[in-house]
Amino acid sequence: MSDDTETNVTVGVETFFEAGDKPCHIFRVMPGVPFEHAYEQVSVLLGYIKHLVREGDMEDDHKFLGAADYLSAFAKAIMDDIEIARNRLH
């Protein structure tokens, strides 16, 4: 593995999904995930989010919209973690 590949990985600092009376984050992006794999997962998540929002709107189903919101937070955490890692490289 080249040095470039080893440095183009998530740092694992971004969290998402707060819960509890004193909100704490339940999930965290894992460190060491190559950007390419992380971007692939964000792309898949965005496809699911688009579908859930469309179905939620058509069916007036708040469960679909809630799931889309949850997955949006997940996708954003991945993208934010990639951006943090990229900024550390420069």
Query: Based on the number of CB atoms within 10 Å of its own CB, is 65 exposed (0-12), middle (13-18) or buried (19 or more)?
Result: middle
Q: Are 52 and 72 in contact (CB under 8 A)?
A: no
Cα separation, 66 vs 27, in Å, equals: 17
pLDDT, position 73: 93
Instruction: Read off the pTM.
Output: 0.85
pLDDT in tens, the chain (90 residues): 444 556 899 999 999 987 778 878 889 999 999 999 999 999 999 999 999 999 999 999 999 999 999 999 999 999 999 999 999 987
